[in-house]
Amino acid sequence: MSIEKYLMRSEDEMDFIPIIPLNESDHDGVDGIEVPAEIPLLPLRNTVLFPGVVLPITVGRDKSIKAVNEAYKGDKLVGVIAQKDTNIEDPSTKDLEDIGTVARIVKLIKMPDGGTTIIIQGKSRFQVESILMDEPYFKAKIKKLEEEEAPKDEDFKAYVANIKDLAADIVQLSPNIPTEASIILRNIENPSFLIHFVSSNLNTDIKDKQRLLELNQIRQRADLLMQLLQKELQFAELKNKVTTKTRTEIDKQQREYFLQQQLKSIKEELGGDSNSQEIKEMQKKAEAKKWPAAAKEMFKKGVEKLERMHPSTPDFSVVYNHLDLMLELPWEDYTEDIYDLKKAKKTLDADHYGMQKIKERILEYLAVLKLKGDMKSPILCFVGPPGIGKTSLGKSIASAIGRKYVRLSLGGLHDESEIRGHRKTYIGAMPGRILQSIRKVKSSNPVMILDEIDKVGSDFRGDPSSALLEVLDPEQNNTFYDNYLELEYDLSKVLFIATANNIQNIQPALRDRLEIIDLSGYAVEEKIEIAKRHLLPKQKEMHGLKSSHFKISDKMLEKIIQDYTRESGVRELDRQLASVMRFQAKELALKGKLKANITANDIEKILGKPRYSNDLYKTANMPGVAVGLAWTYVGGDILFIETSLSDGKGELRLTGNLGNVMKESASTALTYLQANAKRYGINHTLFEKKNIHIHVPEGAVPKDGPSAGITMMTAIASALTGKKVKPFLAMTGEITLRGQVLPVGGIKEKVLAAKRAGLKEIILCWQNEKDVQEIESAFIKGIRFHFVKNMSQVLELALVE
């Protein structure tokens, strides 16, 4: 149904609004009006006028205006008739329906634009018998159609009640029809007028309305009207269902939009929209940024996406953080290198004492960088025991060439995402540690220390050492891809320096990309100089003793080093000196003055009795005990090999937590002596009647490797011959069944360990002579070296009567 507002439109648009007459009783007198035999016709396009219904019409066509004016001059009656085809602008006689409604012109209004508006009320149905003329307007000869009296039976009353109910339901479901319409419907008493009024307002095809008008019997009209109402009610229910569903979706969106607009207004009142301000600032920064075209394009797309998003949406912070990272990365910003080799040497000497070979290697490396410039050279890797200054050496290099310094600790790293970053769609996603470090120093060519590269772990989350392959390959790292950034970043200008304690723990493919530089432990003389130049001034300052004048002599420093430390580096020495400084600070606070010199008694008072002693090697050795040299990841060390004979069946027993290689060395030594027993004056029956037990003290410490081969054989030979091993003698080397002595590694650490322990003679393979020559002669002063080729020479030197 279509009960609409009162609108004035031209009749050719065919948009009419039925109105209830002010006095419904007017309808009762419809049959009593005199209908002339000839009457002017007013064709209507989109509607049908029913008796008793009032319509406002704006008349626009010339013929219609003339017909209305002619009727208004006379009895004010006009024949309103519908067009068969609503699309025809200028209808002819055959385009008009046969049955229409005689209407009275209630009011005629002349409009300023020349148009005419009339209000008409339907009075009676008529039938056209013939068209008398069509110019200047239609005029027809008509016959009045009599209206049937409304039946009084209960059946018809049910029809009327049903029509009212259906019409009320449609009004209820139609949001465009005012609810007052249902009240009006309930108050219409005349059944005939009710049918005409509902028919006029029915939202159905014009032909259906014409059929209703043409039916003579009121019961048939009521029946057809009910069918049409049922059809419209079903349509209204379906439409209402769809509209309600759509409105729920739209209402939610409109509510969010409304709240967002309110929030925006509040922010503007408080001093502008901070988000739009932030985006503008980002765009301003981007304009001044030097970066690749791919990064620029991605940033532009990201900003466009950010502008379309509301800050409360979860993706806003993801996009914002990604753009913020892009802005903060240095991209093509580089610090200017200072390749002044003299200055670099001066800086290295000031920061680190000794290490002459290492410093020369670094200066050579810097020289290559200065000449080559493209950084396509292997990455340095400092390998050595803890506490010798590997990490600080990298810092010195950065200072020497004027670059930013950043340290990346890889110890315990077990997630590949720590290197490559996480996908930015994950909650809490971050870029990898490499890009985070570059972002922090704001330079694309820093010196980056990859600390403890040998302690990288791997588990189900990935293998970080495999991810480092791309970072540390000069052929690949110019297009390093971070998962969070989602762009390639150039790392080829970064100077990577890795540090490690044990080269064997580094993955072979990664080791191949590193230029290994071995850093050995310090000799006692070096430690004394390091203590004087670096450790003592640092500890004095840390303990508030910078202005206090007291001295620790070289002899006292040597006592601290030899009696209280056993290490390749200087960390433990630093801690012992800190203990001395704390004692001095307490003395100064209590007594107000300090002694000028610290004596040996003071050292023992502060640090306690000596922890390590060389007297162990000065005692008379019994036969079967030899001193060997070992390499550990914390430097060199010495170890005893003890051999004892007991009655038995010639079994060999090995104890001391020995590894497979070391056990094999013992078996090889025994087999060699069995084969050459006569040559060395050994009774061959001993091998059948005596059990041989070899023990290496400190049984809780795992030991392995071939370098104790000659020491084991010397200890077994000493036990079997009854000859003692020369005191203050140490040895290291691998043996073969032919009695050959083979070279071993870690010579510098082993020699320095022997020097620290107070040993005076060392037996080595002749091929290790070159390693000894690389050690500063001042550090091994007082040690005599014996270079041998076979076991006969070893036994001649080692065994004494």
Mind telling me the catalytic residues? 707, 750
Identify the residue whose tokens are 């209960």. 154
- For 734-767, letters b (16+ CB in 10 Å) and e give bbeeebebbbbebbbbbbbbbbbbbbebbbbbee
- Rounded to an integer, what distance in angstroms lies between the CA atom of residue 3 and that of residue 475? 81
Give the separation between CA 731 and CA 761, rounded to whole angstroms: 8
Q: What is the residue whose two structure tokens read 């001044």? A: 288
In one-letter notation, the amino acid at residue 180 is: E
C-alpha 480: how far from chain center: 17
Distance of CA 515 to the CA centre of its chain: 33
Q: How many other CB atoms are found less than 10 A from the CB of residue 563?
A: 20
Is 46 within 8 Å of 55 (Cβ atoms)? no
Work out the number of other CB atoms within 10 angstroms of the CB of residue 183. Answer: 11
Take residue 493 and report the two structure tokens written for it.
Answer: 């200008």
What is the Cα gyration radius of the chain? Answer: 55
Using DSSP's 3-state secondary structure scheme, residue 19 falls into strand
Pairing relation of β-strands 761-765 and 729-731? Answer: parallel
Long-range contacts of 647-650 (CB under 8 A, 24+ apart): 647/689, 647/690, 647/691, 648/689, 648/690, 648/691, 649/688, 649/689, 649/691, 650/687, 650/688, 650/689, 650/690, 650/691, 650/692
Q: How far apart are CA 114 and CA 59, in angstroms?
A: 10
Any idea how long the chain is?
801
For residue 435, the one-letter residue type is L
Residue 205 amino acid letter: D
Q: Is 586 buried (19+), middle (13-18) or exposed (0-12) by CB count in 10 A?
A: exposed
Number of CB atoms found within 10 A of residue 258's CB: 10
